[in-house]
């Protein structure tokens, strides 16, 4: 499920308070003059404020992420990969599930392969259970895919609803709720996690009844559809909800610091084959390799979804997120204003797509220029 599908499924339900994206031919009309008490700083979208454009590859499986234990030769491997665009969102939840399976082996010495958000969370939860953990990884923060993520807490692009089994949906729901709870304990400057209002913008009417999709009721506080006089955005329909924003540059460094302070060890190593992977000295390996699992384990269901971000100079006064229309979004972080909205399935290159960068810039310039 991509960001557009996720927003479309959730936007019509104010308990989730996300919105769908309109067709590109839809007409955008300016709202009545906004006179509410809430102040909205306008994002300054201009080419001369762009500081970088980056791209990352989401490890997507239509049937959903994998958390399961497998015996490979003489090793026990606990898989934890394939989170799509929900790696940061779900990492503590799937790490909890993987940790439970690892502890059931009766071992106390573990290898975690991968140092992105999923690998770090898995390693930390094992440490909290008194285990000895070594992280093996080709790349370390800030050179991981997780560092390219936007960081908003919303599990989008995680699975295709038509291909996800009931068993997976139960696993997904539990992981999402666990992850949300873990992150609430991390709110603050140390981990770079904060609550923030989201405004989902749509050209289509929003249904006013129902609960959150996929069993996520209650995870998006202050969810409701707004009246035109309650927002300044140049679209006819807006819903608001509150969620957490996780800033990867701050968060990943903090979790890695926690891991090292707790006695963890990091080994920089690339695995050219499954045999090399299974040669690690630890009796149990937790596979958090993300997209690397495709070649390593011959997982043909795993495919990349390229996401691209244009980053503007920071604006500390911008304290809200916008989602849509046209699939575009804006996240305000300390390291810059993130403008995104791309979803290129099956694309392996990390080279920025110039046409998509232009689409993002033009769409965001129009949106914030026409704010009331």
Q: Which pLDDT belongs to residue 325?
A: 82
Residue with the larger pLDDT of the pair 230 and 143: 230
Question: What share of the chain has pLDDT > 90, as a percent?
Answer: 81
Q: Which pLDDT belongs to residue 48?
A: 97
**Span 11-65, pLDDT tens digits:** 433 333 333 333 333 344 444 556 667 899 999 999 999 999 999 999 999 999 9
Q: Which one of 14-28, 203-217, 324-338 scores highest in mean pLDDT?
A: 324-338
Q: Which pLDDT belongs to residue 249?
A: 94
Contact 237, 19 (CB under 8 A): yes
pLDDT category of residue 213 using cuts at 50, 70 and 90:
low
What's the pTM?
Answer: 0.89
Q: Which pLDDT belongs to residue 38?
A: 87
| Rounded distance between C-alpha atoms, residue 98 and residue 126, angstroms | 9
User: Is residue 217 pLDDT above 60, yes or no?
Assistant: yes
Q: Map out the domains of the chain as residue ranges.
A: 60-178+248-302
**Span 249-294, pLDDT tens digits:** 999 999 999 999 999 999 999 999 999 999 999 999 999 999 999 9
- Across 306-340, b (16+ Cβ under 10 Å) vs e yields bbbbbbbeeeeebebbbbbbbbbbbbbbeebbbbb
Contact 267, 134 (CB under 8 A): yes
Summarize the confidence of residues 174-184 as an average pLDDT. Answer: 98
Question: What share of the chain has pLDDT > 70, as a percent?
Answer: 88
**Span 89-120, pLDDT tens digits:** 999 999 999 999 999 999 999 999 999 999 99
Q: Which CATH number fits domain 60-178+248-302: 3.40.50.1100, 1.10.246.90, 3.10.110.10, 1.10.1040.10?
A: 3.40.50.1100
Q: In sequence order, which residues have a C-beta less than 8 Å from that of residue 240 and are 6 or more positions away?
A: 17, 197, 198, 199, 200, 222, 223, 224, 226, 231
The terminus-to-terminus CA distance of the chain in angstroms comes to: 33
User: Is residue 335 pLDDT above 90, yes or no?
Assistant: yes
Q: Which pLDDT belongs to residue 7?
A: 43
Reference 346, options 273, 289, 291, 270; nearest CA is 291
| Rounded distance between C-alpha atoms, residue 107 and residue 104, angstroms | 8
Is the four-CA dihedral 39, 208, 170, 172 of positive or negative sign?
Answer: negative
Q: Which pLDDT belongs to residue 31?
A: 46
User: Is residue 207 pLDDT above 70, yes or no?
Assistant: no
Say how many residues make up the chain. 372
User: Is residue 211 pLDDT above 70, yes or no?
Assistant: no
Reference 267, options 251, 279, 249; nearest CA is 279
| Rounded distance between C-alpha atoms, residue 234 and residue 93, angstroms | 37
| Rounded distance between C-alpha atoms, residue 134 and residue 303, angstroms | 28
Q: What is the mean pLDDT of the chain?
A: 90
Q: Is the peptide bond before 142 cis (omega within 30 degrees of 0)?
A: yes
pLDDT category of residue 145 using cuts at 50, 70 and 90:
confident
Contact 361, 308 (CB under 8 A): no
Exposure of 315 in the CB half-sphere (CA atoms within 13 A): 21
Q: Which pLDDT belongs to residue 58?
A: 95
Contact 232, 372 (CB under 8 A): yes
Q: In sequence order, which residues have a C-beta less than 8 Å from that of residue 194 and are 6 or more positions away?
A: 187, 188, 244, 245
Q: Which pLDDT belongs to residue 10?
A: 43
Q: Which pLDDT belongs to residue 34?
A: 63
User: Is residue 162 pLDDT above 80, yes or no?
Assistant: yes
pLDDT category of residue 215 using cuts at 50, 70 and 90:
confident
Q: Which pLDDT belongs to residue 32?
A: 52
Question: Using CA atoms in the order 148, 119, 142, 144, what is the torsion angle rounded to 10 degrees?
Answer: -50
Chain-centre distance for alpha carbon 313: 22
Reference 26, options 368, 342, 369, 326; nearest CA is 326
């Amino acid at each position: 499920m991509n960001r557009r599908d996720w927003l479309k499924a959730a936007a019509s339900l104010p308990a989730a308070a996300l919105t769908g994206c309109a067709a590109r031919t839809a007409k955008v009309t300016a709202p009545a003059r906004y006179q509410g008490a809430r102040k909205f700083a306008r994002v300054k979208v201009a080419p001369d404020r762009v500081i970088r454009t980056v791209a990352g590859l989401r490890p997507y499986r239509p049937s959903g992420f994998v958390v399961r234990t497998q015996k490979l030769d003489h090793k026990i491997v606990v898989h934890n990969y394939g989170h799509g665009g929900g790696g940061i969102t779900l990492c503590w939840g799937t790490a909890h599930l993987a940790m439970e399976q690892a502890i059931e082996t009766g071992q106390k010495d573990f290898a975690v392969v991968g140092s992105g958000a999923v690998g770090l969370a898995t390693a930390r939860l094992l440490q909290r259970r008194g285990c000895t953990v070594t992280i093996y990884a080709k790349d370390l923060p800030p050179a991981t895919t997780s560092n390219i993520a936007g960081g908003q807490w919303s599990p989008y692009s995680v699975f295709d609803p038509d291909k996800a089994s009931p068993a997976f949906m139960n696993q997904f729901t539990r992981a999402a709720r666990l992850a949300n709870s873990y992150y609430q304990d991390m709110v603050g400057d140390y981990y770079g996690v904060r609550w923030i209002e989201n405004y989902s913008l749509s050209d289509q009417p929003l249904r006013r009844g129902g609960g959150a999709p996929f069993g996520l009721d209650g995870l998006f506080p202050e969810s409701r559809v707004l009246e035109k006089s309650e927002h300044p955005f140049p679209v006819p329909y807006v819903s608001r909800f509150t969620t957490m924003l996780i800033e990867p540059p701050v968060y990943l460094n903090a979790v890695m610091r926690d891991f090292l302070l707790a006695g963890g060890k990091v080994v920089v190593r690339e695995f050219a084959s499954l045999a090399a992977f299974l040669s690690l000295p630890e009796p149990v390996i937790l596979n958090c390799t993300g997209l690397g699992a495709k070649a390593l384990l011959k997982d043909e269901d795993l495919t990349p979804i390229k996401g691209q971000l244009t980053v503007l100079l920071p604006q500390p006064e911008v304290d809200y997120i916008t989602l849509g229309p046209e699939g575009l979004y804006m996240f305000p972080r300390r390291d810059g204003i993130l403008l995104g909205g791309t979803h290129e399935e099956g694309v392996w290159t990390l080279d920025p797509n110039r046409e998509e960068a232009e689409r993002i810039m033009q769409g965001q310039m129009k949106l914030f220029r026409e704010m009331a």
